[in-house]
Amino acid sequence: MKECKKCKEVMPLTDFSKDSTKSSGISSYCKPCKNKSNKVWQERNRDKIKEYGIEYYKNNKGHKNESSRVYYAKNKAERALQIKEWQRNNPAIVRAHNAKRRATKLQATPQWADLGKIQEVYTEAQRLTELLGIEMHVDHIVPLQGSLVSGLHVETNLQILPAVENLRKSNKFEVIL
């Protein structure tokens, strides 16, 4: 049993966090008091926390991306189940996203587009998926909904990529010099 220095209540040791700076190895404040003081500090220091997060992201971007890639590679099946579960629990968001993409695709398809050739690209991607045993995606070289530039849904703006590469590229336009 230990008394919390803040609320003065006597509680079992399990209600206190470990603290290696204390000689007892246990924090002076109980977990509820510590949580309250942490929340107050966070509210007072929002800008400081945000700046730290931005700086940390800039300095650790490569490491974060690599650790994410490793994590997703190890937990591919589990992540797929989590995504399916999320989609099942959020059907309205999924429908809205798909509708927006379909509308953008329709709007980005000019009248002069050769729909037959576009279909051939998708058919070839399916054939390669079956032949190679690697999931292939049809990617828009210049994204339909890019932040800097938006492309058209035409056969010359399509490329076949392994799914992993397409998902990595996401909605970005990568200029290769």
Query: Domain limits of the chain?
Result: 2-44, 113-177
Structure tokens at 33: 């008091």
Which residue numbers in the chain have pLDDT < 70? 175-177
User: Which tokens sit at 90?
Assistant: 């959020």
* The model's pTM: 0.48
pLDDT score, position 11: 94
Q: Across-strand partners of 162?
A: 136
Q: How far is the C-alpha of 80 from the C-alpha of 78, rounded, in Å?
A: 5
SS3 (DSSP) at 16: strand
Which pLDDT score is estimated for 35?
94
pLDDT for the residue 86:
94
| C-alpha pair distances (Å), 12 with each of 26, 75, 153 | 11, 38, 65
Position 30 scores a pLDDT of 95
Q: Measuring CA to CA, which residue among 10, 11, 28, 32 is closest to residue 19?
A: 28
